[in-house]
Structure 1
Amino acid sequence: MTLPSPDGGRRPSSWTREQAERIERTDDNVAPIIYPPTNDAFPELHIWDTWLLRTRDGSMADFDGWRVVVSLTAPADLLPGKRHDVAALRYFYSRDGQEWHRGGRVFEEGTTFGSRQWAGSALYDDGDLYFFYTASGRKGEEELTYEQRLAVGHGGSVEADDDGVDISGPFEHEIMLTADGEHYETESQSRGMIYTFRDPWFFEDPQTGKTHLLFEGNTPVPEGSDACGGDAAQQEFNGCIGVATSESGDPTEWEIQPPLVEGTCVNQELERPHVVVRDDRYYLFTPSHEHTFAPGLHGFDGLYGFVADSLDGEYEPLNESGLVVANPGNAPFQAYSWLAFDHRDEILVHSFFNYYDLRGRSLDDVADLPPEEQQRRFGGNFAPTLRLGVDGDETWVRGTLAHGHIPTRDEELEEPFEPRRGRRFGGY
């Protein structure tokens, strides 16, 4: 629920423990089992978090019939668990949204802020390119740190012909935002297991025309606070979905605002937040992990979501609990980093093929496997695209498309087989 603050501003909506206690796998929300694709189109790369190169209205940019996605990538000969330590942005392009071609690195090596880049978003605006990213650590650091700042590389150029797409620099890099310590916890304030201030996602509101940047953060909870009934262990789980606004519309100038949603006492990481607007309602999505739920709660690696009548809220959890898509119980880590986008009369969800065939092992157990087994059990590429049905504050999994399929705007999809709704999955 969103309440007015004493000074007349907006207070964040809350994802409560009572709501999160309703999380369960059902026929409506469990994704089908993923099997490896017949052919790995990019065997030389680990590919994970992926986003669309969009225009201000949210549609995919078109370059002579080509469309572009941007992904976090690392060399495939690296152990999967080490990929975040060297993550770099790379782009891929396709005409039909099914056959993807490898592009180059977005930024020339050594030109960005941070020692590596983590997730963000991308904007093509009247000939100008903006690649938003998380600057993790500091350039040249001897030991990796986990400082996080919201950055952008803008400028560059894009050329397209019958052979493909070429994106090149130079790009001018700027740090757009750092945690303010009031609405968003700084690293020095953090007492949780994971610190977050990352995942900038550009959004222009179709109702108001205002320009915003969503991101993941943590709400400051001082020691001795009465939050979570004074339970210090629960207080360490304080994820939130943040927002900043550009009054001028300039994609490089931002003013921090209070969070849209707070998950204090519920979850530590509300990752890669993004919005889909349909039927004049705002669907706010965020992926999260099984292990980032607070003590006493049981969630899954899955896509979670909230809905409101405006960007400011107030937000209510979708499906009463917030759970939109869950990995199946016998493949609990098969996909992650879901990204929802609108297509005709449904919402589609892109993700990456994560760890599979673990046979009951946890993610912590993966590091104890021989290197060749760690590699074999990591997908490291695009997962099958999910199809979501949406009706007000309810969603359900309608079916799937092929690995990495992002339909063109005019592509009509076959009517899927839809599971019976409202029945729990036996055996999960």
Structure 2
Amino acid sequence: MKKSIKKTFKKSISLLKKPKFAIPFVIVLVTGLYGGYRIQKHYHFLGDGVTHINWADMDSFMETARSDDKRMPKFHQESLLANVPSSKTYDSKTGKMVPVAVWDSWPVQNPDGTVADFHGYRLVLGLTSKNARNDGEAKIGIYAQKISDNSNDISTWKYLGDAFNTPYEGAPNGKPDKYLSKKYGEWSGSTVMMNSKDSSIRLFYANAMLDDAGQALTTAEITLDPQNGSDWNSGLVINHDKAKDHKTVFTGDGEYYQIPSQNPGHAAKASEELTMRDPHFVQDGDQYYLIFEGNTGSKYNIQGERNFTNYSNYGDWNTYRYMKNKFAMNKDSISYGKAYYANAAIGKIQLNKDFSVKKVMKPMVVANMVDDEIERVNLFQFQGKWYLFATSWGAKFASTDKNYENKVFMMGYVSENGINGDYKKLNGNGMVMISNTGGPDFTYAHLVIPNKDQKNDKMVVTSFEDSHTFAPSFLMQLKGRETHIITDRVLDQGALVDNGKYYDAEPQVLNN
């Protein structure tokens, strides 16, 4: 048999030495390779170099949700529904103190993502507004908790006020750049203590701009000083006179990430998002990065009809054959409209040391044809691997399955070959947790906080509750490519560390 194969191979080589055979062979080879290249470029049967949240993944989420350890813990204690007691401010219109609602919030972190010790305090920044949540009037507020109190109780958090007294506070020479000058709302991001010896923190947030100008990733340096002289134990105050370097970092490039001129606005039978928000700073060695929520630009099949020709958006052959045909026959359906515009992305840029853009990088994860909004991105290194988490509303999925509409999902990915490596889906399909929406114990904007102890695989997860206060934190176990939500207990509201104080809980029963 081996002799026969060897003889046939030698005969083929000898034929190729003859021009009348070699030329047609080369033509067929080149034609085949070019045809294969054209097919791959159009359909992406071999992938396009990024991780896709595909239709098959989405279809499997509700099956994954049957596992108790993929559900949000449900708590029963009335004491865990409290407002932050100190979260109040003076309202000049009424002449009275009024409550300050807080929703998306995040801790001040070290460059490695662990919770920072800011001169004996843990700090949290969050989106706030007077009386009740109002995204259009959102301002970033700052909260402090003394570490020496050795407590996670919500009463230990002290509201310090707004990060900025004026919209452009800290802008170079007092003059905002052209994007900052259009600011009307401050939306969520991240904050890092770059130098533990000084009193500054570096804030990254999303500037929600006027006149349909979109959103912009923005940064500033903020200073907090001791309340009394040099006595850090006396409490903290925001020193607004020391704010500086308030500037725009990135607004999209049109190629990797969609910009306003590429966005058709709100579409019939579909929710059409344009996002450039939730900037999350991460440092790897001496390299700085921002990851963020965005939408794909022209280099990654921005949106539209191309969503339906990309095999990577379907996930497997059976899904490809069935859904491609279904979309073709139902172009007037809600599902088609949502899939047509869906192009959510988790983006990444590399920064210079002055926090300007060094390099625009390809997306880490895309969800074309499946999801139009992926929020609350965060990234950290643990046990030699890079873990990426994000949250999304089921109502933003292109599926018309009613089970998705009243749910939120936390998703996760892991790279075992560096921060710029290939991100594999945790738990096989990327789903980490499912949670109900609605009700006083509704939580969202879940944020996974890495441990300083690399041997401790239980991570604290924070979120907000009912759009006005910190939610009880809970624990998630991280084991390689698998995650497990610990559902029999929760921590105090707003807890950033696991101090061993727990409240009984159980896995949520999912609403229909």
What range is the shorter-chain TM-score in?
A: 0.7 to 0.9
> C-alpha distance in 2, partners of 1:151/1:273?
16
Q: Is residue 2:347 matched to residue 1:347?
A: no
Question: Is contact 1:227–1:235 with CA below 8 Å preserved after alignment?
Answer: yes
Structure (1/2) with the larger helix percentage: 2
- Secondary structure in structure 1 of the residue aligned to 2:491: strand
Match of 2:233 in 1: 162
Q: 1:69-108 counterparts in 2 under 5 A?
A: 69-76=124-131, 78=132, 80=133, 83-95=134-146, 96=150, 97-98=152-153, 99-108=156-165
Rg larger in 1 or in 2?
A: 2
Q: Is residue 2:204 matched to residue 1:132?
A: yes
Match of 1:406 in 2: 496
Match of 1:335 among 427, 443, 448: 443
Match of 2:349 in 1: 244
Q: Which 10-residue stretch deviates more, 126-135 or 209-218?
A: 126-135
Q: How many residue pairs are counted as aligned between the two chains?
A: 379
Q: Which 10-residue stretch deviates more, 29-38 or 343-352?
A: 29-38
Deviation at 1:329, TM superposition (A): 7.5
Q: 1:309-320 counterparts in 2 under 5 A?
A: 309=416, 310-320=418-428
> C-alpha distance in 2, partners of 1:72/1:14?
30
- Secondary structure in structure 2 of the residue aligned to 1:60: coil
Deviation at 1:33, TM superposition (A): 2.5
> C-alpha distance in 2, partners of 1:412/1:311?
30
Q: 1:286 to 1:84 in 2, by over 3 A?
A: same
> C-alpha distance in 2, partners of 1:32/1:315?
27
Give the partner amino acid of 2:145.
S
> C-alpha distance in 2, partners of 1:32/1:155?
35
Match of 2:121 in 1: 66
Deviation at 1:45, TM superposition (A): 1.1
> C-alpha distance in 2, partners of 1:212/1:388?
25
Structure 1 gaps, min length 5 = 139-143, 355-378
Match of 2:485 among 384, 390, 397: 397
Q: 1:282 to 1:416 in 2, by over 3 A?
A: farther
Q: Which 10-residue stretch deviates more, 128-137 or 161-170?
A: 161-170
Q: 1:198 to 1:54 in 2, by over 3 A?
A: same
- TM-score (normalizing by structure 2): 0.68
> C-alpha distance in 1, partners of 2:505/2:368?
35
Match of 1:31 in 2: 72
* Root-mean-square deviation over aligned CA pairs: 2.9
> C-alpha distance in 2, partners of 1:23/1:54?
31
Q: Is residue 2:167 matched to residue 1:110?
A: yes
Question: Is contact 1:152–1:252 with CA below 8 Å preserved after alignment?
Answer: no
Question: Is contact 2:127–2:188 with CA below 8 Å preserved after alignment?
Answer: yes
Q: 1:19-418 counterparts in 2 under 5 A?
A: 19-24=57-62, 25=65, 26-34=67-75, 36=78, 37=80, 39-40=82-83, 41=85, 42=87, 44-76=99-131, 78=132, 80=133, 83-95=134-146, 96=150, 97-98=152-153, 99-111=156-168, 113=180, 114-126=183-195, 127=198, 128-138=200-210, 145=212, 147-154=214-221, 156-159=223-226, 161-169=232-240, 170-191=243-264, 193-205=272-284, 208-220=285-297, 221=301, 225-229=305-309, 233=337, 234-246=339-351, 248-296=352-400, 299=404, 300-309=407-416, 310-328=418-436, 334-343=442-451, 344=453, 345=456, 346-354=458-466, 380-398=468-486, 399-407=489-497, 412-413=499-500
> C-alpha distance in 2, partners of 1:317/1:133?
27
Deviation at 1:34, TM superposition (A): 4.5
Match of 1:18 in 2: 56
Deviation at 1:54, TM superposition (A): 1.7
Match of 2:320 in 1: none
CA deviation vs aligned residue, 1:15-68 (integer Å, no higher than 9, x gap):
211122110223011112255536422360110011111222323332331110
Question: Is contact 1:218–1:240 with CA below 8 Å preserved after alignment?
Answer: yes
CA deviation vs aligned residue, 1:390-428 (integer Å, no higher than 9, x gap):
222211111311111112xxx6536998979xxx96876
- TM-score (normalizing by structure 1): 0.80
Q: Which 10-residue stretch deviates more, 275-284 or 291-300?
A: 291-300
Deviation at 1:168, TM superposition (A): 1.9
Structure 2 gaps, min length 5 = 1-40, 42-47, 89-98, 170-179, 265-270, 310-323, 328-335
> C-alpha distance in 2, partners of 1:279/1:131?
27
